[in-house]
Homo-oligomer: A and B are copies of this chain.
Amino acid sequence: MGISLGEIAGRYGCELHGEPDFVVSQVATLSGADNDSITFLANSAYRAQLETTAAGAVIVGPDDLEACPVAALVAKDPYIVYAHIAAELHPAMELAPGVDPAATIAAGAQVPASCQIAPGVVIEANVILGERVYVGPNSVIGARSRVGDDTRIWAGVVICHEARIGRRCIFHGGVVIGADGFGIAKDDAGTWIKVPQIGSVTIGDDVEIGANSTIDRGAIEDTVIGEGVKIDNQVQVAHNVVIGAHTAVAALVGISGSTRIGSRCLIGGHTGFAGHITVADDVMISAGTAVMNSIKRPGFYGGVAATVDEASRWRKNVARYRHLDEMARRLHKLEKLVEKKLGDK
């Protein structure tokens, strides 16, 4: 349980300024590190902490090397190197294969001996689990769902019937996959008729979904989450949404039905998407944006209309916003008048 700086330098292509044989055994923050720890500086804003760190070694970018008072590993992207080292020094929980006696596995479910099934788990009929799947306490996997190799489902997760889950996925506590989409139609009497949701959910390999997020099943065809997609906590993905590969979605985002998000997008928290729109690949959207129309070109977009302000000023601005259109008309009228009377011609 330790790596020498020489090993790190070799493995991740870093330039080492320090003793190659020096061994670090854990990761730490710049301010919390001791001589046994390796840490990193990815954001120069924290440079002051670098100067006083007691770490055994620090992974830094080229520009921060000079300020590093201890052994340094210079990397183009210190955060990526840190991520790899942290995973080596602090590996994920090792599986203890077997089915806990307090789990309920329905007849016809396939649970390989390499899986770990925790107490309270319910696996319904004809579920097929891959090798080395972990299902945490009190999670539920609905009938006829399939889960790929090495996927880890934490506690209290609900996967409804007929979902298709890829390999190496991670679902955190309270995630609900495949609940009915919000499909309702109003009849002549003004009451809502439920529209059956007969599609399901298809989730690619290497998808991570944060705590209490919800991915609804499709109305007819499937809701689709592409490979490598990373979804934060409390995100809502409605029926028939398609999210392209390697897109990352921050917390509290809502994506309405049938909207298609491209690949490699970055979606800021609290952002909302209207239904039936399309977002191109490589789109970055700032937090809190209301995306009411399709975005056709890659690029950086935003939309939060105002940021925090002192209440006295904020209140006045809100009051003025109600009259923004009127202001615009008055401005136009004034321009016309001034031009007519004072025009420079």
Contacts and interface: CB of A to CB of B under 8 A. Distances in A.
A24 interface: no
Given A182-B251, A254-B270, A246 B191 contact: yes
Contacts of A192: 206, 228, 230, 246, 248
Interface string A1-43: 0000000000000000000000000011100100000000000
Contacts of A324: 316-317, 320-321, 324
Nearest to A102: B104
Contact of A331 (B155, B170, B309, B334): B334
A57 to B, nearest CB: 15
Interface in A252-300: 252, 254, 256, 264, 269-270, 272, 274, 285-293, 295, 299-300
Contacts of A310: 299-301
Given A120-B120, A182-B233, A220 B104 contact: no
A103 to B, nearest CB: 9
B315 A311 contact: no
A200 interface: no
Contacts of A83: 183, 185, 193-196
A293 B285 CA distance: 18
A84 to B, nearest CB: 7
A230 B291 CA distance: 24
A323 interface: yes
Interface string A72-88: 00000101101110110
Interface string A155-184: 110101000000000101110100110111
14 contacts: A32-B220, A77-B187, A120-B122, A138-B138, A160-B173, A236-B252, A256-B269, A274-B287, A293-B308, A299-B311, A300-B311, A301-B310, A302-B311, A304-B306
Interface of A: 27-29, 32, 77, 79-80, 82-84, 86-87, 90, 92, 100, 102, 104, 118-120, 122, 124, 136-138, 140, 142, 154-156, 158, 160, 170, 172-174, 176, 179-180, 182-187, 190-196, 198, 206, 208, 210-212, 214, 216, 220-221, 228, 230, 232-234, 236, 238, 246, 248, 250-252, 254, 256, 264, 269-270, 272, 274, 285-293, 295, 299-311, 313-325, 327-328, 330-331, 334-335, 337-338, 341-342
